[in-house]
Chains A and B, each alone.
Chain A
């Protein structure tokens, strides 16, 4: 959500008009309209001040990006010993290689056609 949208949603939640919020901030109604329409282009200080006059605080936090790792495959692998995992890899590689090399001519023919 953009900072401008946060201001608009907070104002609406407080039941304030843009003119009423403008009076609390000591600015004009068109300035509030511009603030809400500015999207991401609002400074942290302006956002904080706008929220404070509506008796709200701004909370910022950083969080890790969601992982793209499939835990279930790892959990399954962890049931094996390190050596068994390498042996399983060798077997899987041989299967995938055989399949890939078998399909390659068909894919090449399909591309030509």
Chain B
């Protein structure tokens, strides 16, 4: 039986915001922000790819003591701006739990598109942008795993029940 790792989205979001990172929350936490009753074990974000933002994100990730998830050998990895420039997706462990950062998840064209359709969530006094319902549904449909299909059903129900 897998161990339940420490995870709290709020503190990670706060650290990203304090560092001035431009990002949009997607995935399970975004679905929960819209009304999904599920429990998720990680935070997914899409970030802006401008040089200044990569610097800010790199500093925030180092501040969170981010390491590559599932990599147990002694390869030193520093998630700084230089590393972020070379990758499209990073799956990380941080002091406050798992964090996936990505440039362009399936079903979206990236940060600018997601920001345009996003909503605001105030989490513990921190304002963050969360992907809109339609963008979230498109990404979950594109991902297509069984758990994504459950999310799609829920998000469609949220649309229906909230009249959006």
Q: Are A87 and B123 in contact (CB under 8 A)?
A: yes
A111 smallest CB distance to B (angstroms) = 9
Q: A residues within 8 A CB of B75?
A: none
Q: A residues within 8 A CB of B61?
A: none
The range of chain B's interface size is 35 or more
The docked-state distance in angstroms from the alpha carbon of A96 to that of B4 is 9
A86 contact from B4, B9, B150, B158, Cβ within 8 A: B9
B155 smallest CB distance to A (angstroms) = 9
- Which of B9, B41, B157 gathers the greatest number of chain A CB atoms within 10 Å? B157
B9 contact from A89, A101, A107, Cβ within 8 A: A89
- Residues of chain B in range 117-144 having any CB-CB distance to chain A below 8 Å: 119-124, 128, 130
The answer to whether the Cβ of A75 comes within 8 Å of any Cβ in the partner chain is: yes
Q: Are A77 and B8 in contact (CB under 8 A)?
A: no
A83 contact from B7, B37, B122, B161, Cβ within 8 A: B122
The answer to whether the Cβ of A73 comes within 8 Å of any Cβ in the partner chain is: yes
Q: B residues within 8 A CB of A82?
A: 33-34, 119-122, 130
The answer to whether the Cβ of B1 comes within 8 Å of any Cβ in the partner chain is: yes
- Which of A68, A74, A81 gathers the greatest number of chain B CB atoms within 10 Å? A74
The answer to whether the Cβ of A78 comes within 8 Å of any Cβ in the partner chain is: yes
Binary interface encoding of chain B residues 1-40 relative to chain A, with 1 for a CB under 8 A from any of its CBs, else 0:
1011111111001000000000000000100111111011
Known: A86-B123, A87-B123. A78 touches B37 (CB 8 A): no
The docked-state distance in angstroms from the alpha carbon of A92 to that of B34 is 16
A71 contact from B36, B120, B128, B161, Cβ within 8 A: B161
Q: A residues within 8 A CB of B41?
A: 93
The answer to whether the Cβ of B76 comes within 8 Å of any Cβ in the partner chain is: no
**A-B contacts, 21 listed (Cβ < 8 Å):** A71-B161, A74-B157, A78-B158, A81-B121, A81-B122, A82-B121, A83-B128, A85-B33, A85-B35, A86-B121, A89-B29, A89-B39, A89-B40, A93-B8, A93-B39, A93-B40, A96-B4, A96-B39, A97-B4, A101-B3, A104-B3
Given A85-B32, A87-B10, 13 more contacts at CB 8 Å? Answer: A68-B150, A69-B154, A71-B157, A74-B154, A74-B161, A78-B161, A82-B121, A83-B123, A85-B35, A86-B32, A90-B9, A93-B7, A97-B6
The 9 closest A-B pairs by CB, nearest first: A82-B121, A73-B37, A97-B4, A83-B122, A82-B33, A77-B35, A83-B121, A69-B157, A83-B123
| Chain A residues close to B by CB (< 8 Å) | 67-71, 73-78, 81-83, 85-87, 89-90, 92-94, 96-97, 100-101, 104, 107-108
